[in-house]
Amino acid sequence: MGNTTFTLKWGILATGGIAKTFCKDLLIDPSTRNASDIRHQIVATASSSSRSRAQQFLSDLKAPKSAKAYGSYKELVADPNVDIIYIATPHSHHYQNTRLALEAGKHVLCEKAFTVNARQAEILVNIAREKKLFLMEAVWTRFFPLAREVREFVKSGQLGEIKRVWADLSFWNDVEKEFGREHRMVNLELAGGALLDLGIYSLTWVFQILYHVIPEEKRGMPTVASAITKYKATGCDEMTSVILSFPPYGAHGIATTNLRVAHNPNASHPSPDPIRIQGTLGDLTISNSPYRPLSYTLIPAKNEKRGQLAKFEYNTVTHEIPGGGHGMFWEADECARCIRDGKLESEGMGWEESLVIMRVMDEIRRQGNLRYSERLESVEYPLGGF
Ligand SMILES: NC(=O)C1=CN([C@@H]2O[C@H](COP(=O)(O)OP(=O)(O)OC[C@H]3O[C@@H](n4cnc5c(N)ncnc54)[C@H](OP(=O)(O)O)[C@@H]3O)[C@@H](O)[C@H]2O)C=CC1
Ligand SMILES: O=C1OC[C@@H](O)[C@H](O)[C@H]1O
């Protein structure tokens, strides 16, 4: 490989809020985060609304003039200059849109939640495997240096045996006023609801600690006990709470999400850290926010009778996000390195783990009697209207 820089050429599928944030990060010079081995280029964007919307999106971003604008997703995935497609549509569309891109021979980074249900995710993974294409669920938080550091600390055993992980991602919303019935956060036809949109982050923290760092031969699907409260106007979940019990030691993960109360209700006053990892030798807590974590605190266990239990000091570690970015470039860098190295999946967010999390979400929805329409739950492809 030598000193060459690998350039990954991106096609952006959809022009909404997160597509814009992600593209801004793609345009930040990787040297600001000490990365010289990879580069990103936005070579095309598509909007299902119109070509002019895609063109406006590129102009607003000050993307290179050479970037193409398309008025349909089909045209985008057919562009031979595109290496990887970033899927930035609502959850309802992920299966159809990702499949469209894979069938066209493109690598894919698909926004969370991966799909509506596990069956859809399994099919996408099988296609990627057969066609030898890279595919990843865009759980960007996992690629923060802070998240890697936390996983390493847990793996080192310094917290002892992890017994429990608490993780909350909840926002105070005036749900009726802000979201009504149509907003993607609550719209059942867009597979809206707290679980798929926010709860995935709570599950991400629980899984990173109680699944990801456990040796493969010892880890497995947790048992699931959960409760869902629905939003009356649409029937989506507005409050979901889950207790998971993980093999091999029965550690508990408590994952919660809510659209009406917040993990930090008042930004001017401190709230308890929303992520708490509890080991037999101490705790590691992660401060706001659960999806864009900037600092963590180590709390060594101490007991009057038994003295200091841990070998580490009380300490708060803070990480800045370099280059004025949002922090989404780290997952993009991961895609570039995997594709450069011929990997079909990332170690940080592998297929099997995405599938287990989707199965857990299926079970939570089953227990809470939350089903999307047959059309959204379907694995039929292609379906019109996507
Ligand atoms: N990683 C993160 O931090 C975040 C991730 N997300 C995830 O990103 C995805 C998109 O969220 P977000 O960008 O906030 O959503 P937006 O509503 O802002 O954008 C979604 C885009 O999808 C396209 N689209 C295609 N069909 C439809 C349809 N029927 N209804 C609505 N939009 C449609 C539209 O683009 P066009 O007209 O150009 O085709 C639209 O602009 C979700 O999966 C969400 O969970 C969201 C926020 C933060
Ligand atoms: O992924 C996300 O993270 C930030 C939230 O505000 C947003 O609703 C969600 O989609």
The answer to whether residue 380 sits within a structural domain is no
For residue 234, what pLDDT is reported?
Answer: 98
Which of 198, 200, 201, 237 is the pocket-test mutation for ligand 2 (most atoms within 8 Å of CB)?
198
313 shares a domain with 166: yes
Q: Is 179 touching ligand 2 by the criterion CB < 6 Å?
A: no
- Indicate which ligand has the atom closest to the C-alpha of 257: 2
Q: How is residue 370 written in tokens?
A: 């939350």
Q: How far apart are CA 257 and CA 239, in angstroms?
A: 6
335 shares a domain with 297: no
- 228, 364 Cβ separation under 8 angstroms: yes
Distance (angstroms) between ligand 1 centre and the Cα of 47 equals 11
67 shares a domain with 173: no
Ligand 2 atom nearest to 185, measured from its CA: 8
Please tell me the number of Cα atoms within 13 Å of 369 on its side-chain side. 4
Q: How far apart are CA 297 and CA 273, in angstroms?
A: 9
Quick check: ipTM above 0.95?
yes
Distance (angstroms) between ligand 2 centre and the Cα of 195 equals 11
220 shares a domain with 281: yes
Nearest CA to ligand 2 atom 5: 198
Strands 68-70 and 38-46: parallel
Helix pair 118-131, 91-103: axis angle to 10 deg? 20
Which residues, including other chains, have CB under 8 Å from residue 157's CB and lie 6 or more apart? Answer: none
For residue 2, what pLDDT is reported?
Answer: 58
Distance (angstroms) between ligand 2 centre and the Cα of 198 equals 6
The answer to whether residue 356 sits within a structural domain is no
Question: Where residue 35 sits, what CATH number does that domain have?
Answer: 3.40.50.720
Distance (angstroms) between ligand 2 centre and the Cα of 197 equals 6
Order of all β-strands in the sheet with 162-170: 223-230, 237-246, 251-258, 162-170, 275-279, 282-286, 295-300, 315-318
Closest CA to 141 of 21, 294, 257: 294
The answer to whether residue 151 sits within a structural domain is yes
Over the Cα atoms of the chain, what is R_g? Answer: 21
Residue range of the domain that includes 117? 6-139+328-348
134 shares a domain with 151: no
Ligand 1 atom nearest to 385, measured from its CA: 29
304 shares a domain with 176: yes
Residue 298 bridge partners (DSSP): 284, 315
Which residues, including other chains, have CB under 8 Å from residue 52's CB and lie 6 or more apart? Answer: 69, 71
31 shares a domain with 164: no
3-class secondary structure, 278: strand
The answer to whether residue 163 sits within a structural domain is yes
Distance (angstroms) between ligand 2 centre and the Cα of 309 equals 38
Number of domains in the chain: 2
What is the full per-residue pLDDT of the chain (386 aa) written as tens digits?
Answer: 557 999 999 999 999 999 999 999 999 999 999 999 999 999 999 999 999 999 999 999 999 999 999 999 999 999 999 999 999 999 999 999 999 999 999 999 999 999 999 999 999 999 999 999 999 999 999 999 999 999 999 999 999 999 999 999 999 999 999 999 999 999 999 999 999 999 999 999 999 999 999 999 999 999 999 999 999 999 999 999 999 999 999 999 999 999 999 999 999 999 999 999 999 999 999 999 999 999 999 999 998 998 999 999 999 999 999 999 999 999 999 999 999 999 999 999 999 999 999 999 999 999 999 999 999 999 999 999 99
For residue 3, what pLDDT is reported?
Answer: 76
Strands 162-170 and 251-258: parallel
Q: Is 291 touching ligand 2 by the criterion CB < 6 Å?
A: yes
DSSP per residue, 195-247: IIIIIHHHHHHHHIIIIITS-TTT--PPEEEEEEEE-TTT--EEEEEEEEEET
Q: Is 91 touching ligand 1 by the criterion CB < 6 Å?
A: yes
Q: Is 90 touching ligand 1 by the criterion CB < 6 Å?
A: yes
Q: Is the pTM of this model over 0.90?
A: yes
The answer to whether residue 369 sits within a structural domain is no
217 shares a domain with 123: no
Q: Is 22 touching ligand 2 by the criterion CB < 6 Å?
A: no
Q: How far apart are CA 332 and CA 140, in angstroms?
A: 8
pLDDT in tens, 126-135: 999 999 999 9
